[in-house]
Amino acid sequence: MSRVALVTGGSRGIGAAISKALQDAGYTVAATYAGNDEAAQAFTGETGIKTYKWSVADYDACAAGIRQIEEELGPIAVLVNNAGITRDAMFHKMTPQQWKEVIDTNLTGVFNMTHPVWSGMRDRKFGRIINISSINGQKGQAGQANYSAAKAGDLGFTKALAQEGARAGITVNAICPGYIATEMVKAIDEKVLAERIIPQIPVGRLGEPEEIARTVVFLASDQAGFITGSTITANGGQYFA
Q: How far is the CB of 13 from ligand NDP (least distance, A)?
A: 2
Give the nearer residue to ligand NDP in terms of CB position, either 34 or 78: 34
Q: How far is the CB of 216 from ligand NDP (least distance, A)?
A: 11
Give the nearer residue to ligand NDP in terms of CB position, either 182 or 228: 182
Q: Which of 33, 52, 147, 179 is catalytic?
A: 147
Give the nearer residue to ligand NDP in terms of CB position, either 51 or 228: 51
Q: Whole-angstrom Cα distance, residue 197 to residue 61?
A: 38
Binding site for ligand NDP (CB under 6 A): 8-9, 11-15, 32-36, 39, 55-57, 82-85, 105, 132, 134, 177, 179-180, 182-185
Identity of residue 45: G
H and E: helices and strands count for the chain: 10, 7
Q: How far is the CB of 34 from ligand NDP (least distance, A)?
A: 3
147 has catalytic annotation: yes
Q: How far is CA 222 from CA 78, 84, 150, 225, in A?
A: 11, 27, 29, 5
Alpha-helix residue ranges (DSSP H) falling in 125-182: 135-139, 145-165
Q: Whole-angstrom Cα distance, residue 14 to residue 131?
A: 12
Active site residues: 147
